[in-house]
Amino acid sequence: MSCKNKSGAEKHYLPALKAAGWAGPILLVAPGDPLPDLTGIAGLLLTGGDDIHPRHWDEAEAVHPKADVDAGRDGFEIPLVRAAWERRLPILGICRGEQVLNVALGGSLVQDIPDHYGCEPSRHQHGTPDQPDMRHRVQLAPGSRLRALLGEDVFLVNSRHHQAVKRVAPLLAAVGWHLDTVHAATGPLVEAVETTDPTRWVFGVQWHPENLVGLKGPAGDAARDLFAAFAKAIGHR
């Protein structure tokens, strides 16, 4: 599991994974740690965090004034994602994790959602890890693998981000959107991606399911199903 703050990951992500049935060891890594040897590793979970520098998709694109770039995580996680992909490991990216997954595999990002989509800043910034505030819905593609895993077409999500997937990486497909946040050129805001290779288990979601696993209703069901599917995929390694 790759993160910035190990205590935060231990508080929010580890319980969700353990509750989903994973009883094996969990290696937490962060910038400053050696890049882990993936021999014997069952899968990779990429947690949320700060922004990704635009040089990783376009050398000429300037950093947005509202960006809070985490260069240390960029330098650590992009090679980690590529190494995990080469080893065909199951990968689950959450929030920044979805974004770095997309960038590492050749995609790009919207650096600031309000600026790009012309929406109010609070539309995708609300709630906290301890108090999730679900204000908008995600629509999943009916024929997608993620829809099959989660058992829901439409459900409410929490949202704490100002960057988002722009150009989807060639190895991925967009399978979830916020249909009320739309740009004339780039379409609706991407909320989920999955690999186009049916022999791999690779998914990314823009919301924070680790904060929703204790809730009743479709959002909690979808969050628990996502972690259960990841636990099952890494358990088969």
Catalytic residue list:
95, 208, 210
Backbone conformation region of residue 159, classed left if phi is above 0, alpha if psi is from -120 to 50, else beta: beta
Task: Give the three-state DSSP class for 91.
Answer: strand
197: tokens are 């290779």
**Which residues touch 166 (CB under 8 Å, ≥6 apart)?**
107, 108, 109, 110, 116, 186, 190
Provide the β-strand partners of residue 69: 51
Q: What share of the chain is helix, strand, coil (3-state, %, to 5)?
A: 35, 25, 45
> Phi and psi of 18, rounded to 5°?
-70, -40
Q: Are 56 and 103 in contact (CB under 8 A)?
A: yes
- What string of DSSP letters covers 32-90? TBPPPP-TT---EEE---SB--GGGT-TTPPPPTT--B-HHHHHHHHHHHHHHHHTT--
